[in-house]
């Protein structure tokens, strides 16, 4: 097991998953505190890195595309204090951080976890019910429907129509966009049969965000809804079924020769990585032994 404890948070790796717990330091972002502890399975990881700095270092996790509904809904636009997949590291713990990175990388290598996209969420998303007040509205989500209520600052185009209820079955997509410069942000729901997009300021299916402290919390609502929508990479059921809705035939099991050839190819790839200096002698030996056992 590998563990690193900092004021910014605590990361623990047990070989199968990483447990990310936000710290109580005043610099920890509001979103991370509200999101709470995250359990990230090894299969959801695409990589990990550590960057040293003069005053502090930074651990970063890179997740596979499509593994986390929070990252999908926010489009990678979470700012540094709110990103749960970054951890500030104090200089006297640089050695611990490097050891942590080595342990995770070795596990990814030994388990041969691919770094490509996935077609199903590997993290569950925030728990519900959720209620967040920010910008010109309040967003509630109970797992089945979204309810939008408007504050007195909202435009007449919204407030005159009163609160709006959006059943989950009618929501096609959700997007969270932070404010940037003079541009306001938004939490927007794309709904079936709705007219074309209008500015969030006037859109009854969007909450406009003005760059205040609680804006990032709307990303929790976006992620909770996204986690309950069909995965964007999942194939429609009709594509999986055979003629006249018949169940698809099971895929044939790969031949033993194919498995053997794949393992030989993997050994050659490891040798190339070792020769190029990407893998240390110890990492190469561990990975080679794991493959030889499978052969």
pLDDT at 295 over 60: no
CA distances from 2 to 13, 59, 113, 286 (A): 5, 14, 19, 18
Closest CA to 19 of 33, 40, 5, 46: 40
The pLDDT assigned to 289 comes to 67
Q: Give 201 or 291, the one with higher predicted confidence.
A: 201
Closest CA to 92 of 5, 179, 160: 5
* HSE (side-chain half, CA atoms, 13 Å) at 116: 4
Convert the pLDDT of each residue in 100-159 to its tens digit: 999 999 999 999 999 999 999 999 999 999 999 999 999 999 999 999 999 999 999 899
Q: Give 35 or 181, the one with higher predicted confidence.
A: 35
Confidence of residue 86 (pLDDT cuts 50, 70, 90): very high
In b/e form, how buried is each residue of 259-290, taking b as 16+ CB within 10 angstroms?
Answer: eeeeeeebeeebeeebeeeebeeebbeebbeb
CA distances from 181 to 29, 134, 207, 246 (A): 20, 18, 18, 54
- CB atoms near residue 140 (< 10 Å): 18
- The arithmetic mean of pLDDT across residues 167-179, rounded, is 94
Measure the CA–CA gap between 203 and 40, rounded to whole angstroms: 35
The pLDDT assigned to 181 comes to 82
The pLDDT assigned to 89 comes to 97
Dihedrals φ, ψ of 54, to 5°?
-70, -40
- The arithmetic mean of pLDDT across residues 54-64, rounded, is 95
Q: Give 51 or 282, the one with higher predicted confidence.
A: 51
The pLDDT assigned to 256 comes to 43
The pLDDT assigned to 70 comes to 96
pTM beyond 0.75: the answer is: yes
Q: Is the dihedral of CA 157, 159, 161, 163 positive or negative?
A: positive
The pLDDT assigned to 26 comes to 87
Q: Give 283 or 171, the one with higher predicted confidence.
A: 171
| Residue 129 preceded by cis peptide, ω within 30 | yes
């Amino acid at each position: 097991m590998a563990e690193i404890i900092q004021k910014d948070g605590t990361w623990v790796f047990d070989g199968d998953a990483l447990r990310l717990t936000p710290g109580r330091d005043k610099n920890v972002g509001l979103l991370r505190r509200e999101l709470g502890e995250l359990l990230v399975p090894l299969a959801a990881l695409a990589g990990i890195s550590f960057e040293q700095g003069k005053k502090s270092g930074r651990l970063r996790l890179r997740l596979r595309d499509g593994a986390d509904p929070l990252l999908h809904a926010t489009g990678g636009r979470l700012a540094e204090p709110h990103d749960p997949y970054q951890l500030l590291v104090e200089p006297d713990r640089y050695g611990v951080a490097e050891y942590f990175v080595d342990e995770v990388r070795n596990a990814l290598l030994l388990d041969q976890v691919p770094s490509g996209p996935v077609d199903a969420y590997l993290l569950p998303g925030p728990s519900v019910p959720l209620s967040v007040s920010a910008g010109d509205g309040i967003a509630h989500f109970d797992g089945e429907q979204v309810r939008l209520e408007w504050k007195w600052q909202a435009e007449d185009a919204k407030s005159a129509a009163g609160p709006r209820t959006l059943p989950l079955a009618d929501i096609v997509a959700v997007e969270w966009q932070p404010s940037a410069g003079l541009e306001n942000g938004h939490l927007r729901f794309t709904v079936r049969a709705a007219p074309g997009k209008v500015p969030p300021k006037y859109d009854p299916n969007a909450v406009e965000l003005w760059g205040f402290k609680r804006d990032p919390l709307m990303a929790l609502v976006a992620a909770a809804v996204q986690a309950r929508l069909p995965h964007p990479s999942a194939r429609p059921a009709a594509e999986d079924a055979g003629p006249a809705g018949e169940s698809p035939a099971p895929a044939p099991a790969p031949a033993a020769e194919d498995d053997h050839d794949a393992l030989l190819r993997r050994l050659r790839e490891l040798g190339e990585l070792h020769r190029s200096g990407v893998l240390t002698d110890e990492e190469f030996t561990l990975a080679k032994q794991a493959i030889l056992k499978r052969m």
